[in-house]
Structure 1
Amino acid sequence: MHATQRYDPDLVTAHTTAAASSIVRWVEQHHGLAVQQCHLIRRGLNDNYALRSVDGSRYVVRLYSIRPRGDFNADFELSLLAHLDAHGVAVAVPVPTAQGRTHVELRFPEGLRAMALFRHAPGAVPDTLEDFEQTGGTLARIHMTARDYAGPPSRYTLDGSHLAEQTLAYLHTHPELDLELLNTYRQLVQGLLAELAQAKGGLSRVICHGDTHGFNNHIATNADGAKSAVFFDFDDAGPGFLAYDLCVMPWSYLTRKSLKEPDELLLERWAHYIQGYRSAGGEVTPADMAALPLFVQLRHLWNMGEALGRLHHWGTSPMPVDWLRKQVDVFAAWKALDLQTP
């Protein structure tokens, strides 16, 4: 009996990491590509694999992870990318299957997971001031071009519920969080949502990329030496506030550097980022700029929620109670952020 039983009957799978050999077989089966090489880049929010076909073309395969937020948003994301590419916006283009589908669904022990194939975005992450200006410019073109998008709707909207209320719900599931800290976060979320309710009527709305932290686009250089920014990873995209999509870049820098206020380098990059956005035709109103401190905080909450919603998969180490307690002071400091530009 033990020799023929494949799994322990008590095993409940939270997340399965597929071997690169499985990705090769699925891509060959569904996309008809002859694959030369494939390896795992990173597992986490999704599992991403680098793939090279026999003709030398480079691709990225995304195996979507099951997320607590709900069903995959792939129909919207991949249709949006096709729309942007058709209008000349530099994005990592999705490659349809041999049957013309945007993605396939595969049965894993934990449930159905979507898989999509993308063309590789060449280049490197932005580093120079010119790079950040290019990044802002392409983001503006994404926002402007997406106004005419008429494909499948997004399954979610990047609003207060998505950014903050879900995180509060996930905090309730943390096994080590005390009632006092939970109440502190409840008051924090309520205060931010009240501020958003008061401000949102005057704020610009766009289809957000949702994760424009500076590592989801590359700066590519063509044969003539001209640079351009190419965006990818639109799986957090959806309708939302312009101020939110803009704030993710400074939030990322502040978080990675553990800063409570911008340093000189961030301010320089931010000024070029906004300059690039405006130079490409993007409009940022005074109300949008004034709302940036609010959305930096909402972004921080959303990011916390992405980890808190995966306690069953990632465990408590990414969100220990001591760290959660320290963030209360970070939120308080960020209320006074000054990200105004000339």
Structure 2
Amino acid sequence: MIDIDIKKLSSRYGRSFTNIDVVVGGVNRTYRVLAGEDVFYLRLYRSFGRPLSQITAEASLLTRFPESPQVGVSRPVATTDGAYVIELSWSGERRHVCLFQGAEGEQFELNNIAHMERFGASIANLHLAMPAVTDGEVRELNPIAIVHDALHALREVPGSDDVVEAIRDEYLPSLLRLDLGNLVSGICHGDPWTGNARFQNGKTVFFDFDDFGHGPFVLDLSTAAWHFAHEESAQNDAMAKALIAGYEKVRPLSVPELEALPLFIKLDEVRSLLFLARYCALSDEMWIEAFEGAKEVFSQSQKS
């Protein structure tokens, strides 16, 4: 059963949508919408935790993103009255939604060195192409604030004592010793993993900018590398090195950025735990698994 009225949606956008299917459930529900051969994606934003001003800033960023031969973004689609972010009824409540152009093409493979080099280069090209400013409220991706938010949220989770202690007593002091002011900053994607990009005709198109904000560029690179951190293996190490090498072919990292990268991979684990604590209802067994995974990442980062 589809819970979006396709006729009303067609009327709002002045298009004849022929099919709509849920492709992602959960926090930010996403639908694949067809209008003949044209493909769009409808994002139903979560009802709490992200103000409208940040959603409109996301739409503004993506509409003004410059054309580039190397990298692009899935742009929002306007309604008949020119709005990019609108309200729709869903499950008895009003939710903000945005319709995006489809990003079709090849998905990057996590076990393919050439793909990882290309993906790293794509993240660097995304950073170089990012507009310096955008309208609306742009959240600050402040590493210290993220850790404090995570500590506050995790204290409410049963069984979190060991992880909270590791973050507070081992990780946070290491992060505080970094001179974050020496890290090159700008507008970041926030979650540039391979599931949020497609490659076609020599160009990478990124989508899902829900976590975008202003912060150190190395945070985007560490987020991509974090996906190789949960299991120590020669293959994962090779993929992470290929990712970083691809990035540096386009935008060489400074010494402070290279020094920060291992700590920022750990920061991405903290960000993941924060997201789970804020927006997801996990069973005790699922939390145990999440905490065990976090301990593994913290251990590997400590060795880096």
**Same fold? TM cut 0.5:** yes
The yes-or-no answer on 1:270 pairing with 2:253 is no
Q: Contact between 2:66 and 2:129, CA under 8 Å: does it hold in 1?
A: no
Rounded to whole Å, the distance in 1 between the matches of 2:284 and 2:188 is 26
Q: Secondary structure of the residue that 1:106 maps to in structure 2? A: strand
1:35-46 → structure 2 map (5 Å cutoff) = 35-46=17-28
In structure 1, C-alpha distance between the alignment counterparts of 2:291 and 2:134, rounded to whole Å: 42
CA contact (8 A) 1:133 1:273 kept: yes
**CA-to-partner distance for each residue in 1:207-246, whole Å, 9 max, x for gaps?**
11111122111122x3xxxx33211111111011122111
Gaps of 5+ in 2: none
Aligned-partner SS, 1:329: helix
Q: In 2, are the aligned partners of 1:47 and 1:62 still within 8 Å (CA)?
A: yes
Matched, 1:213 2:193: yes
SS for the counterpart of 1:326 is helix
Secondary structure at 2:302 match in 1: coil
CA shift digits 1:300-332 (9 cap, x unpaired): 11111111112xxx4222874433552463244
> 1:63 and 2:52 equivalent?
no
Q: What is the aligned-residue RMSD (CA, Å)?
A: 2.6
> Which of residues 110, 119, 122 is equivalent to 1:135?
119
Determine if the alignment matches structure 1 residue 298 to structure 2 residue 259. Answer: no
Q: Is the 8 A contact 1:154 1:238 kept in 2?
A: no
TM superposition score normalised by structure 2: 0.87
Asked if 2 retains the 8 angstrom alpha-carbon contact of 1:103 and 1:115, the reply is yes
Task: State which structure, 1 or 2, has the greater radius of gyration over its C-alpha atoms.
Answer: 1
TM-score with structure 1 length normalisation? 0.78
Assess if the C-alpha contact under 8 Å between 1:66 and 1:113 holds in 2: yes
Q: 1:111 to 1:294 in 2, by over 3 A?
A: farther
1:184 to partner: Cα distance: 5.1
Given the alignment, which residue of 34, 50, 54 partners 2:16? 34
Partner of 2:56: 75
- 1:70 shift after superposition: 5.1
User: How many residues were matched structurally?
Assistant: 300
In the alignment, which of 117, 133, 136 is matched to residue 150 of structure 1?
A: 133
% identical equivalent positions: 22
Contact 1:203-1:288 within 8 A present in 2 as well: yes
Is the Cα contact below 8 Å between 1:304 and 1:319 reproduced in 2?
A: no
> Following the alignment from structure 1 to structure 2, what is the Cα–Cα distance between the partners of residues 319 and 288?
36
Deviates more, 1:121-130 or 1:271-280: 271-280
Distance across 2 between alignment mates of 1:102 and 1:154: 16
1:279 to 242, 249, 272: 249
| Unpaired runs of at least 5, structure 1 | 1-18
Counterpart for residue 189 of structure 1: 168
Cα distance change, pair 47–72 in 1 and its aligned pair in 2 (3 A): farther
For 1:239, which of 204, 214, 236 is the aligned residue?
214
> CA contact under 8 A between 2:196 and 2:208: conserved in structure 1?
yes
Contact 1:212 1:245 in 2 (8 A): yes
For 1:16, the equivalent position in structure 2 comes to: none
Q: What is the Cα deviation at residue 26 of structure 1?
A: 4.1
State the 1:173 CA deviation.
2.6
